[in-house]
């Protein structure tokens, strides 16, 4: 049988407690949501929904082609201009997803003959970009500027250091200033994924690179997603105009992919403008994360101190993590459940989203449910 090997792998997953299933979410779910990445609570905001609907009414349901053919609308360029201005970079380029943006940035900035230095705990999209790039990749320890220096010291020629700004599993932040210093000592570029920093860190949510004083630097390129703090869908690469022009001409996930749907662009633009008007949302997301961590720790749970809006709670095993998350759901609370291979260290976790729109009562309820259902 041609695909008989699939059942063998399925059985291995079942034995290891690593089976994943889709769970359709109703529009009127009664669950308290601490599982999504809607950090600022904007996905259902009326202005964001109207931004999507209005764009669909004007531009239609799809972008109708790749960005270089018919897929670039005036709305796309308006979004790119405002994203670049908000985050402090010269130019921006919008992609159909954050995954596509990371594949584009890593492959284009890591050509043949170059060295890519990658943090050991980088997101899968950055890892896949390294695998697809024609340059050589060297993986270094997590958040280790000295390891970056050592790796760069072994190479002559173009080099780029690749890292998340906020790591998606434990929510810890990369030492961006120290990484930039290590890069500049060797003339290397720095490419960082700010998926979990945009909208949460920096002045008014302008992102981790802005907070680290790296916004607009000619040796720094940033990727981000529009699907988390901005409550929409899509990805973006921000950086010097020359780098962005190079992506337009060389990035396969830009050239050969259908452009971001106008509705998603409209929603992201509406969310960005709302965040400009209400910058306190970013600080509130951080406050909620700190409160969740403090309450969970006081309850005797092993929670990782958050640097942004991700709060991680360690679980004894993959099977117990799955059961814990299921028990939380039964009690009316949706939480994330991270297991291998999503967790590189092999430690399963509940992953909580500290949303800016969570009330004190909702935070208290979430902590109570997690404590009462612990394995």
Global confidence as pTM? 0.95
In 3D space, the residue among 47, 90, 77 whose CA is nearest the CA of residue 260 turns out to be 77
User: 3-class DSSP state for residue 319?
Assistant: helix
Largest pairwise CA distance in the chain = 59
With tokens 């705990």, the residue in question is 121
Structural domain boundaries of the chain? 27-42+279-373, 46-277
> Which residue's structure tokens are 């810890």?
172
pLDDT per residue over 226-257, tens digit each? 999 999 999 999 999 999 999 999 999 999 99
Cα end-to-end span (Å), the chain = 41
Dihedral, CA of residue 298, residue 303, residue 304 and residue 306, to nearest 10: -70
Instruction: Give the Cα separation of 182 and 185 in Å (integer).
Output: 5
| DSSP 8-state code for residue 174 | P
**Helix, coil or strand: residue 176:** helix
- Digit-by-digit pLDDT tens for the chain (375 residues) are 899 899 999 999 888 877 888 889 898 899 999 999 999 999 999 999 999 999 999 999 999 999 999 999 999 999 999 999 999 999 999 999 999 999 999 999 999 999 999 999 999 999 999 999 999 999 999 999 999 999 999 999 999 999 999 999 899 999 999 999 999 999 999 999 999 999 999 999 999 999 999 999 999 999 999 999 999 999 999 999 999 999 999 999 999 999 999 999 999 999 999 999 999 999 999 999 999 999 999 999 999 999 999 999 999 998 999 999 999 999 999 999 988 877 767 789 999 999 999 999 999 999 999 999 998
Contact 307, 171 (CB under 8 A): yes
CATH code, 27-42+279-373: 3.90.1150.10
Cβ-proximal residues to 251 (8 Å cutoff; 6+ apart), any chain = 104, 105, 107, 108
What pLDDT does residue 18 have?
Answer: 78
Question: What does the alpha-carbon distance between residue 320 and residue 139 come to, in Å, rounded to a whole number?
Answer: 31
Q: Give Cβ neighbours of residue 364 (< 8 Å, ≥ 6 apart).
A: 295
Alpha-carbon distance of 185 to 180, in angstroms, equals 9
- Alpha-carbon distance of 367 to 315, in angstroms, equals 15
> What one-character DSSP code corresponds to residue 260?
P
Tokens 């950055």, residue located? 126
Reading the block at residue 286, the tokens are 């951080």
pLDDT score of 365 = 97
Residues constituting the chain: 375
How buried is residue 18: exposed, middle or buried, by Cβ count under 10 Å (0-12/13-18/19+)? middle
Q: In what order do the strands lie in the sheet with 310-314?
A: 32-34, 333-338, 349-353, 310-314, 303-304
Fold of 46-277: 3.40.640
* H-assigned helices in the chain: 4-16, 46-59, 74-87, 98-109, 124-132, 145-152, 176-186, 208-211, 241-250, 252-255, 262-277, 280-298, 318-330, 360-373
Strand partners, 88: none
In CATH terms, are 27-42+279-373 and 46-277 the same topology?
no
- CA 361 – CA 103 distance, rounded (Å): 41
pLDDT at 372: 97
pLDDT at 289: 98
């Amino acid at each position: 049988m041609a695909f008989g090997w699939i059942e063998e792998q399925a059985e291995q997953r079942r034995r290891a407690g690593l089976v994943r299933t889709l769970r359709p979410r109703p529009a009127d779910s009664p669950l308290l949501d601490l599982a999504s990445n809607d950090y600022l609570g904007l996905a259902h905001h009326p202005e964001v929904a109207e931004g999507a609907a209005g764009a669909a009414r004007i531009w239609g349901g799809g972008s109708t082609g790749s960005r270089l053919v018919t897929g670039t609308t005036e709305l796309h360029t308006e979004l790119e201009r405002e994203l670049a201005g908000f985050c402090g970079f010269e130019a921006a380029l919008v992609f159909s997803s954050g995954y596509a943006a990371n594949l584009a940035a890593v492959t284009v900035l890591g050509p043949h003959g170059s060295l890519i230095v990658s943090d050991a705990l980088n997101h899968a999209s950055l890892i896949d970009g390294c695998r697809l790039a024609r340059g050589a990749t060297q993986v270094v320890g997590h958040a280790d500027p000295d390891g970056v220096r050592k790796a760069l010291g072994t190479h002559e020629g173009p080099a780029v250091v690749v890292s998340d700004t906020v790591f998606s599993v434990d929510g810890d932040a990369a030492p961006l200033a120290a990484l930039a210093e290590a890069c500049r000592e060797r003339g290397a570029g720095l490419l960082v994924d700010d998926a979990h920093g945009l909208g949460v860190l920096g002045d008014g949510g302008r992102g981790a690179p802005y907070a680290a004083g790296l916004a607009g630097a000619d040796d720094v390129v940033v990727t981000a997603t529009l699907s988390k703090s901005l409550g929409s869908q899509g990805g973006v690469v921000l950086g010097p105009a020359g780098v962005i022009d190079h992506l337009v001409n060389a990035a396969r996930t830009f050239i050969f992919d259908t452009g971001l749907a106008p509705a998603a662009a409209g929603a992201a633009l509406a969310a960005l403008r709302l965040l400009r008007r209400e910058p306190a949302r970013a600080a509130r997301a951080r406050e909620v994360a700190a409160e969740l961590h403090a309450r969970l720790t006081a309850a005797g749970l092993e929670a990782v101190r958050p640097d942004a809006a991700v709060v991680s709670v360690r679980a004894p095993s993959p099977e117990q993590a799955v059961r814990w998350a299921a028990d939380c759901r039964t009690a009316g609370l949706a939480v994330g459940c991270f297991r291998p291979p999503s967790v590189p260290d092999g430690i399963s976790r509940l992953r909580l989203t500290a949303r800016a729109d969570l009330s004190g009562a909702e935070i208290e309820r979430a902590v109570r449910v997690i404590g009462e259902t612990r394995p």
